[in-house]
Amino acid sequence: MSFLEREAIGIGATIEEAQQAACRQLGMETHEVEFEVLQMPEKKKFGLFGGAPAKVRAYISITPASAAADYLREILEKMGAQGVQINIEEVEGGAVLNLSGDNIGFIIGHRGETLDALQYLTGLVANHVDNSYYRITINTGNYREKREKTLESLARKMAIKAVKTGRNSSLEPMNPYERRIIHTTVQKVNGAISWSEGENMGRHVVIGPDPKVKQSFRPRREGGRPRNNNFRSRSQSQDGTKGEAAAGAGTQPRPEIKKNAAAYEKIVPGIPAQPKPVQEKKPVKDESPVSPLYGKIEPKKGE
């Protein structure tokens, strides 16, 4: 890892005095620096001749991560956040500064804007140490992990919507880290793509359907619902003839429908069956003359 060193030479009658003199020059405490003894103290001979004071070299190694942490600690103190613990976690190509302490929720800000601003400034300080790219991430209370899951869920939902509707959707402006999360998630949804638009603070992600993939959505007509050639209106039955819903009032259902009211309701939903009204049976008047139980017996001829 690249690093720089700050050093100071301290001189004193004893080693301890020389160390304290060197620390005062660095503005650090003795437990924060490392020492190298350059010269041991020597007493004068006979109290008059010779002798030499102690000389030590105090130095501290400055890494991009430590420089960023020192700068962040100074800013937080001026913001009124006292006693904030900064734990440096070295990762490939950079470091994560994990913050912990009491009442530090205000450091996050609205949708992480304050945290992102602090992260940007500390990143600039870290990159000035050896003039190379060194990525600094600031996290507190697992906010980054929670935000990442929220963005992944949003990206997946908007990508599926774009595939179904065939329309583009623009998200709110985000920093490069959050835009990268959106792009990675959208790539996992078949038929959806994403790209960035805008400049500086207004740069945002747009999610839309992939023109290279055949879409299953149907275009919408102006002022109406999607065109569907397989759609049948209620005025047309399965055999292509006009049904009862469009025939007008007073039209009697077909014979096969009258026999089964449930089938009629299934074919034309929402229109109840119209059974034939039951007519009261009138007594039949027998107009034939009253005849006796046995008719008149006629004798056969020839008897």
Any idea where the domains of the chain sit in the sequence? 4-62, 65-141, 145-209
Beta bridge partners of 59: 7, 34
Cβ 126 vs Cβ 136: under 8 Å: yes
Give the pLDDT score at 234: 44
Fold annotation for 145-209: Ribosomal Protein S8; Chain: A, domain 1 (3.30.1370)
Q: Cα–chain-centroid distance for residue 124?
A: 28
Which structure tokens are listed for 3? Answer: 């690093």
Residue 68 carries which side chain, given as an amino acid letter?
A: A
Beta strands, E only, the chain: 4-12, 34-39, 54-62, 85-91, 94-100, 135-140, 169-170, 192-197, 204-209
Q: What is the largest CA-CA distance in the chain?
A: 196
Give the pLDDT score at 131: 77
- Cα distances from 173 to residues 110, 179, 185, 203, in angstroms, run 13, 9, 17, 5
Fold annotation for 4-62: Dodecin subunit-like (3.30.1660)
Cβ 178 vs Cβ 186: under 8 Å: no
d(CA 217, CA 225): 12
Give the pLDDT score at 44: 75
Cβ 107 vs Cβ 115: under 8 Å: yes
Which structure tokens are listed for 2? Answer: 């690249």
Name the residue among 177, 148, 167, 153 with its Cα closest to residue 206.
167
Query: In CATH terms, are 4-62 and 65-141 the same topology?
Result: no
pLDDT tens by residue, the chain, 303 residues: 555 677 889 999 899 998 999 888 888 788 878 888 998 888 877 666 667 889 999 888 788 888 899 899 889 888 888 778 899 888 888 999 999 887 777 888 887 888 889 999 999 998 888 777 889 999 888 888 888 999 999 999 999 999 999 999 999 998 888 999 999 999 999 999 999 999 988 899 999 999 888 766 555 555 555 555 444 444 444 444 444 444 444 445 555 544 555 554 555 555 555 555 555 555 555 544 444 444 444 545 544
Give the pLDDT score at 122: 92
Spatial CB neighbours of 274, under 8 Å, sequence gap ≥ 6: 244, 252, 253
Give the pLDDT score at 175: 85
The superfamily (CATH) of domain 65-141 is K homology (KH) domain (3.30.300.20)
Give the pLDDT score at 205: 95
Burial class (CB in 10 A: 0-12, 13-18, 19+), 299: exposed
Q: How many C-alpha atoms does 54 have within 13 Å on its Cβ side?
A: 20
- Cα distances from 119 to residues 23, 77, 135, 139, 225, in angstroms, run 30, 16, 9, 9, 48
Q: pTM here?
A: 0.51
